[in-house]
Amino acid sequence: MGGRRLVVGAALFAALLTGCGAPGEPKADPEAGPEARSSATPTKQPRDQKDRKERVSRSEGGARFEVPDAVIIEQLRRAAERIAQNYTAPPTPVPVDVDPGTNRALGYHLMLDFGFAEDQWRFLDALWHRESGWNHLADNPTSSAYGIPQSLPGSKMAVVGPDWRTNPETQIRWGLAYIAARYGTPERAWAHSEKVGWY
């Protein structure tokens, strides 16, 4: 696993430093709610209409917020630098309830490589188990959300790689960058999902 980590880390680092991102663009505020992102004044909805809207949101799930590609790329660039600095560290074994060689195992290692603490795993695991069951081919026909993180739409993940439809690593890397940019931690993303049914 250590060798694979070095190859993946070095390849990602090289790819990201060759010019995908545009440094200096505004970053998403992980503390801001959706209302802070809209310039329109929110209108008060009747209670039954609000409840109906929330039920629809809960059934559709997905990573819904728009995070600029440059912010995603910057998050991945930082992760690549951390991987490059720590590539000699021995790989951390996966938790006992995670089968090696699965998307969950890959997700656990990529989460640590990304810089999230081990205690964030239970939140990330719960979030993506709810969203897709860790299935990289998960396709929500009612909302067009796709993949492990249920990117909405799935094509947003193309900023990480053209193989976003079939490569779980590409999807997980995008999802981790999205979570970092929008919420700061998987725990906060999970809390938002628990509240409204999507993140």
One DSSP character per residue, 82-140 reads: HHHHTTTSPPPPPPTTS-TTSHHHHHHHHHHHHT--GGGHHHHHHHHHHHHTT-TT-B-
Question: Is residue 171's pLDDT more than 80?
Answer: yes
Question: Is residue 131's pLDDT more than 70?
Answer: yes
Q: Return the DSSP state at 161.
A: -
The band of 1, judged by pLDDT with boundaries at 50, 70 and 90, is very low
8-61: pLDDT as tens digits? 444 443 444 333 333 333 334 434 433 333 333 333 444 444 443 333 334 568
Region 120-139: what's the mean pLDDT?
Answer: 98
pLDDT attached to residue 87: 61
pLDDT attached to residue 37: 35
Partnered with residue 139 across adjacent β-strands are 146
Residue 146: phi and psi, rounded to 5, are -145, 150
Neighbours of 142 (CB within 10 A): 10
Residue with the larger pLDDT of the pair 35 and 79: 79
143-162: pLDDT as tens digits? 899 999 999 999 999 999 99
Most confident among 3-7, 23-27, 185-189 (mean pLDDT): 185-189
The band of 77, judged by pLDDT with boundaries at 50, 70 and 90, is confident
Stated pTM of the model: 0.64
Rounded to the nearest integer, the mean pLDDT of the chain is 76
Domain segments of the chain as ranges: 52-67+101-196
Residue with the larger pLDDT of the pair 32 and 75: 75
86-100: pLDDT as tens digits? 665 666 788 888 999
Q: How far apart are CA 155 and CA 157, in angstroms?
A: 5
**Between the CA of residue 153 and those of 5, 22, 38, 160, what are the distances in Å?**
29, 22, 19, 14
Region 58-83: what's the mean pLDDT?
Answer: 81
